[in-house]
Every structure is written in structure tokens, then in C-alpha cells.
Chain A
Amino acid sequence: MTGPEARQLLRKYNQGKCTPEEIALVERWYLLESSKQNISEDQDDFIAEKNQMWYEISEMSGIQTRNKTSRIILWGTSIAAAVIIAISIGSNFFKASQPELAQSESISKVYDKNPGENKAVLTLADGTKIVLDDIVKGTIAKQGGITISKAADGSIIYDMPAVAGLSHETVFFNTIETPKGGKYQITLPDGSKVWLNSVSSLRFPAIFNGEERNVELKGEAYFEVAKNKEKPFVVKTNDMNVIVTGTEFNVMAYSDENYSATTLVEGSVHVSSPNSDIVLKPGEQVVSNEGAKLKKSLADVELNIAWKNGLFQFNDSDMRTVMNQISRWYDVSIEYKGGVPEKHFGGYISRESKLSQVLKMLELSGVKFKIEEKKIIVLP
């Protein structure tokens, strides 16, 4: 074989036109060559190429690039800062001095806000609106033979007497809606429990008498669906339908967030949209990104349901994500002076904290806030 013939052989190999014998020849030769070759350069330099190549790959494959390192550092510093501040405050607690730590120049107490509370409006089929808060107790309404009452823990219970007497043709649609600074737990007529986050609404029939148990969600809710294999429970949002028979999951579908997500905690759910169809296992989530195809991934479940457990929890969350949650819970609007800071946050804080306390925690990551009447200004 001559040099030009060798070139010809490799061309055939690349084109997939080699005989099995020729393939064996090329591959065995390649293997031998690769065992003979060495690198003389200092190979520690290679690591420097890693990030640059990843940047190019992300560009070419059309996926988002993330600057991982800087985010991780922020996480680290904010946690470290939280612990350090906590320790100094711990000692402060006993010494009862050092006022400069308790004082922040920009976060005034004048317009401070209390955390959100149990608050919602229930709209019955006939248009009657019932304000639900911690004060109302006992039976609150009757419609079509169904008693709607409020339990001691504040949840709403639909009580159906023997279904026999009820007309199965009439479906009464009820809507429960939480305002900014509100949350509410409701028990649906089938026994399913729903926790509604702030600025969310759920539309549901007073009796589930169809083939499916259909509800419509805007905003965010955690579902604990009562088992019923014959009648699937279907949560409809703008972007997706979540179909289950009995399970626990969270659906986030705020219109002012740029994505919506269903996170499965227990059981199994089926998520469908006009162009995709996905089955989730516990610990997985499906994200819909502004009309794009649904995407499945592993979920940080704790993070996704932190709100239900009374926590703000962030992990590498950007400024807008954090402030949107605060805006909804404390009923304040957000103004960014000089653009949205490129900060990321990690950590927890109780949702029972006052607004000023939450903002102080966030200030540990190097951002500054000013509270005005029903408004937070994020300073540059």
C-alpha cells in the first residue's frame, strides 16, 4: 500500500464504505498509533480550555450558558455571611449592645409589612363572593344541597349528603382566589387537598360528576389528590394539563414568571401540552418555557414546595425570582433602580418573618433595598 492508497482507504472509512477487513485494519492501526503518541506540553493548562469550549458548545447547541463559578461563590458567601451574622447576633443577644448591627440605613420600619396570612375569596356559581379569613367559622354557604363549611384549621370543606338526591346535570363552578399577601388551604368535594399560594386561583366544580375531575389553576398550588382510579384528576393551566389518579405534586404557573413547572412529590403524574406528553416519577419535574416543548428534569423538590412548608428557599435563584416571591407574599411592588442586579441567592428564611427581616437577610449578599409605601426599591 502506498501513501495515496492509505489516504484513499481513510476516505472510504470516513464514508462508511470499507469492507469488514478494511475496517479492522484501520481501527487496529489507529489503536496502535494512539498507544504510541504522547503529549509533551504541560497538561494542567488544558483545564483552562474546558470552560471556553463549554461556552462554544452551548452557543452551537442553542442552550443557555450559565456562569457557574460566580454563582457558586455567591452561594458560598451568602451562607457564610448568614452564619457569621447569626453568630455575631447570637452573642449580641446576650450582651444586648452593638446597635449598629440592628440598624440598617435604608430599610425603614415605617413601611415595614407583616407576612401574608390565610386570606382568599370564594366565588360561588351564582356570583356570591365569600371572604375567607381566620375570622369566619362554621357553615359559610349552601348550594345545590352541598354544605360549604370552614374547619377549625381554616380549610374549606365541601360536604355532600348522599349523592342520590342531587341533579347530576347541574354543575356549579366555584372559584377560590388568593390576593397578594394571602394563602389558603381548601379541601375539594372529592376530599383532595389543595394549598394555594399568593395571587393564585383555582376553579373547580362543587361536585365532580364528570368522567374526569377537572380543575383550572392560575398561579401556584400544591395538590394532595384523593385516590380515585376511575376518575382522573386533571389540573389545567395555560401551558399544560397535569393528569393524575392520586398523588402529591406542586404546580407553578404564574403568568409573570417566564416558565411554569409541575414537580412530583409522590405517586405518578402525566403531563401533557399541545406538543408533548410526559410521565413523571417522584423527584422529577416538567418545565414549560414560554410555549416551547415541555422538558423533564430532576427537581429540587424541597425548594419547589418550600412555600407550602412556610419557607422562602433559594438555591442559586436570581434576583427577579426572589423579588417576585416577595412581592406576592408581602403585597408590595418592586422597582429596580438601575436595572436588575446580577445576583444569585441561596438559603432559607421563614415566610412568617416581617418584610424588613427578609430584606436584611438578602442584603447580606450585597444588594441594598429601600422600603416605601407598598413598594420595595432595589438600589443599584
Chain B
Amino acid sequence: MSVYIALIDNQLLDYIKSGDQLAFAEIYERYWGLMFHHVFKMTGDKDETKDLVQELFTNLWLNIEQIEPETNISAYLYVSARNKVINLIRHDKVKNNYLSSLSNFANYYQNSVLEQLSAKDLSIAIEREIQNLPCKMREIFELSRKKYRTHKEIAEELQISDKTVKKQINNAIKILRLRLNIFILILTIYLSLSANTFSL
């Protein structure tokens, strides 16, 4: 199993910045589904969606040097996807009549002041997209995400202290290591046993 799965997005970003292709593959693993789903929902065209998502990730790799290390990757991908979808809309490459919808929306709000989306609004929007993923895809996504949640977040959710979480996690890692070592030991014994028998 890939060691990258245990890293949070920003650690992966760090590795991608130094040219690490496997870290990039892990980011793709995490976000392809979310991006595909969102873009397909908006465009209704599978080929346009594939092209757009490919371009999205390719640009991430090619422009990685311009991306700040603290950047939130999910938000970055979402915003890039939105720009690209809007581009398709204004070139009439999507199913719906979004232009009339936008003009209606603008007319409705013409006398009120709309606030810009905050970072929080954005993350709520992304969270909603995750919740709307089909079952199987959502499970995969949440599984990978749960692995790299911070101790603090888990602590908040479970209403226990940071330290307890840390201890629990360390215990779990120790047990895993022990199991792995035993497995390796057994394997080595088998291998040397088989090697000895062959030489008879």
C-alpha cells in the first residue's frame, strides 16, 4: 500500500512541488471522483467532462510551482473547475440554458447586495458535493479522508482530548507494526525453510 495515503493534502502538495509523481497520483486518487461528478452534473456531457478533468489535473502538475504551499487543494481544484465550467457555459457547450438562468438570477437580485463567497462558504459547498457523491464513490472518498484528519478534529468530534487521540493512534500503529513484523518473520522462516529443503 502506498505510504502517501497517510499524508494530508498539504504534505502531498509539498512532495508534488519537489517533483514527486506518486504524491500527485495520490491527489488524483482523492479528488478525481469529486471533480468528475461535479463537472458532469453541470455539463451533462461525458466527453467534455473528461477533457475538463484531465486538463484540471494536468494544470495542477504543470503549474505546481506557482501554487502556494498553504493552498487548500480541494478548494483550488473546485475553483479551477468552476472557471472551466463557466467557460463551457459561455461557449454553449453544456446541456442547460444557464445564460437565461443567470440573467433571471441577476434581475432578481439587482437591488440587493450579494456578499462574496467566503472560504467557509466554499468548503461548505465542497462538503455538500461530497455528500452528493454516489454511495460507492463517497465511501472511498471519506475513507481516504478520515485517515488524514488531524488529531484535533477527531478529538472535537468525539469530545475527547487531543492527547487521548494521539495515544490511541500510537497504540494502533504499534499493534499494526507488531502484526507486520510477525508476518515478515513467518514469511522469512518459510522462505529459509524452503531454501534449505531445495538445497538437500
Contacts and interface: CB of A to CB of B under 8 A. Distances in A.
Report which residue of A52, A89, A293 has the largest number of chain B beta carbons within 10 angstroms of its beta carbon: A89
Interface stretch (A133-141, A185-193, A356-364): A356-364
Interface string B128-165: 11000010110000000000000000000000000000
A23 B25 CA distance: 33
B114 A9 contact: no
Interface string B49-66: 010011101100110000
Interface stretch (B30-38, B68-76, B169-177): B30-38
A243 to B, nearest CB: 18
B24 to A, nearest CB: 7
Contacts, number: 196
B200 A102 contact: yes
Contacts of B15: 296-298
B166 interface: no
A3 B103 CA distance: 6
A29 B102 contact: yes
A34 B116 contact: no
B197 A6 contact: no
B65 to A, nearest CB: 12
B106 interface: yes
A83 interface: yes
A275 interface: no
Contact of A53 (B24, B53, B106): B53
Nearest to B19: A295
Contact of A6 (B36, B41, B106): B106
B199 interface: yes
Given A14-B83, A14-B87, A44-B134, A63 B187 contact: no
Interface stretch (A171-179, A234-242, A345-353): A345-353
A3 B92 CA distance: 12
A9 B106 contact: yes
Given A14-B90, A296-B19, A27 B3 contact: no
13 contacts: A6-B100, A14-B86, A38-B41, A46-B36, A47-B137, A50-B33, A50-B36, A56-B54, A60-B55, A61-B58, A61-B62, A295-B19, A349-B195
Closest 3 CB pairs of A and B: A86-B190, A43-B134, A1-B106
